[in-house]
Amino acid sequence: MSTRTQRFGAVTALILAGAVAGCSDDPAPTDAGQDDVTADLGADTGVDAPVGTDRPDAGNPTDMPVPTDMPVPTDTPVPTDMPVPTDTPTDAPPPASTIPGAPVVLTRNASFSTPLTVVLTASGATSYFTARTPGGVATLFRSAGGGAAPTAVPVTGVTLVFPTGLAIAGDDNRLYIADQAANRGMTGSGAEEGALISLPTEGGAATALNIGMLRRPRAVAAHGTPEQLTFIAIQDDGTPVVARMAATGGAVTVLTMGGALRDPSALAVAADGTTYVTDGRADSGLGAVFRIPMGGAPARIVGRLRMGLPAGIALSRDERRLLVAGWDVETGPGRLTWVGVDGMGAMSPMALGAPLTSPVGLSRARNADIYGIADDTATDMAATSWGAVFTAR
């Protein structure tokens, strides 16, 4: 406390305590600014009194003049140049996704049949899909749409057999294929190993990534920076596993295994790592969608979605809804269904029936609400093969 404040407090205490100036032989102090105007009254009062007041009970307080030269304390001035705190800036949320229109044929051609899975480049301009040639050979195709015949992408070093999963890198320069029977290697039980394959988008030498003791990978998604792969595979005893690893290879981390999952076949991954998985045998065989949070167990968010194999799924760009491929439980035609990521609200069919008959593969362009759909039986009267690849935007 400052000397000035102590003096002001002493005078005030005197007025309240009943001390009177002038009742002693010495005149009452008139200058509160003098340095020697106080004397300790002791511990009984805890305050200082003016010199010349011999006792704290002397005199009448009404006779004491109040100092007029003591400055009155004022509020501490607030600096005017101090910056006003603002809320911590946050990233703007992604734009709300729009529901695409009815699917239209991207490519349908006699050069392929029964497409199983499809991915789009970041802009949605080009698609890659797996299907069979007229001779029954599993092949990777590229299409720019417009109804033109797709181009086969060369894959060397690995033989594709049953490619049901397909993903594309964020820079559009690399493809990842989950093939349940590629590079057939026989174990002691005679089971097929399969392979998780990486290759350039223009084709060429393919590399089978090391997925440890897991086998028969059936779905894969590429996401994150640095890029990671989340995939579905099985253990030797057939237990389904959802796992994650770096796109360049390395240690495999198991996110979940078994439990509520029966036969998971496709997945989509959100920016925070949350994984959404379709399972055609869950929910008493009617199919269900599960959410797997980081470090958590699968939670069913919606059921009664009869599905094919694979049971395609895609996450909207704003990550609020899922588009799920399947067919109507009651009437049978193929359909795409919107589902909220929290499972709340009614399911909303986006496309029901023609031109879809059995949609299986499903994906979204990374930077647009454009969806690719692989239907393994869709055809028309003029077609000479089964299946088609569609787009919806």
pLDDT tens track, the chain, 393 positions: 444 444 444 434 433 344 334 434 444 444 444 443 333 333 344 434 343 444 344 344 444 454 445 454 445 454 444 443 333 344 455 567 766 777 888 888 888 999 999 999 999 999 999 999 999 999 999 998 776 789 999 999 999 999 999 999 999 999 999 999 997 543 344 446 899 999 999 999 999 999 999 999 999 999 999 999 999 999 999 999 999 999 999 999 999 999 999 999 999 999 999 999 999 999 888 889 999 998 889 999 998 888 888 999 999 999 999 999 987 766 667 888 888 998 765 566 666 556 788 899 999 999 999 999 999 887 765 556 688 899 888
Query: Hey, what amino acid is at 219?
Result: A
> What tokens were used for 376?
């393994």
Neighbours of 22 (CB within 10 A): 16
* Residue-level pLDDT at 357: 85
Backbone angles phi, psi at 177, to 5 degrees: -120, 130
Sheet order of strands, 321-327 included: 313-315, 321-327, 334-340, 348-352
> What tokens were used for 371?
């969806």
Neighbours of 223 (CB within 10 A): 21
> What tokens were used for 107?
């490519």
DSSP state of 384: S
Backbone angles phi, psi at 229, to 5 degrees: -120, 125
Please identify which residue in the block is written with the tokens 């994150």: 224
Query: Hey, what amino acid is at 271?
Result: A
Q: Are 131 and 115 in contact (CB under 8 A)?
A: yes
Contact residues for 161 (Cβ-Cβ < 8 A; gap 6+): 138, 179, 180, 181, 182, 184
> What tokens were used for 67?
């100092």
Q: In whole angstroms, give the CA distance from residue 228 to residue 222.
A: 6
Check the CA dihedral 214-220-221-226 and report its sign. Answer: positive
- What is the dihedral angle through the alpha carbons of 184, 186, 191, 193, rounded to the nearest 10 degrees? -40
- What is the dihedral angle through the alpha carbons of 325, 288, 323, 314, rounded to the nearest 10 degrees? -90
Report the relative pairing of strands 321-327 and 313-315 from DSSP bridges. antiparallel
Residue (of 173, 270, 280) closest to 230 by Cα position? 270
DSSP state of 61: G
* Residue-level pLDDT at 66: 44
- 258-278-184 Cα angle (round to 5): 70
Show the domains of the chain with their CATH numbers: 3-63 (no CATH), 104-392 (2.120.10.30)
Helices (H), 136-217: none
* Residue-level pLDDT at 192: 62
* Total length of the chain: 393
* Residue-level pLDDT at 308: 80
* Residue-level pLDDT at 346: 52
Helix (H) or strand (E) holding 360: strand 359-364
